[in-house]
Amino acid sequence: MGHYSQAEGDASRGIERLQLERIAALPKAQQRFVMQMLDTVLQQSG
């Protein structure tokens, strides 16, 4: 069971890295908007 959650964590990190690369390609104003959205989501989940 522990191995499954570890693999799942690795997969989600890979997805996060792809998303960050996509965000980096956006104009600065859109980057700020996306980062604010992420902060809000992380605060709610944490």
Instruction: Identify the pLDDT of residue 6.
Output: 64
Alpha-carbon distance values, 40 to 11, 13, 25 (Å)? 23, 19, 21
Provide CB contacts within 8 A for 35, sequence distance 6+.
Answer: 23
Complete DSSP assignment for 24-35:
HTS-HHHHHHHH
Instruction: Identify the pLDDT of residue 46.
Output: 72
Instruction: Identify the pLDDT of residue 5.
Output: 60
1-46 confidence digits (pLDDT tens):
455 566 667 777 787 888 889 999 999 999 999 999 989 998 998 7
Residues constituting the chain: 46
Residue 38's Cα: distance from chain center in Å?
7
Sequence ranges of the domains in the chain: 2-45
Instruction: Identify the pLDDT of residue 12.
Output: 75
Instruction: Identify the pLDDT of residue 28.
Output: 96
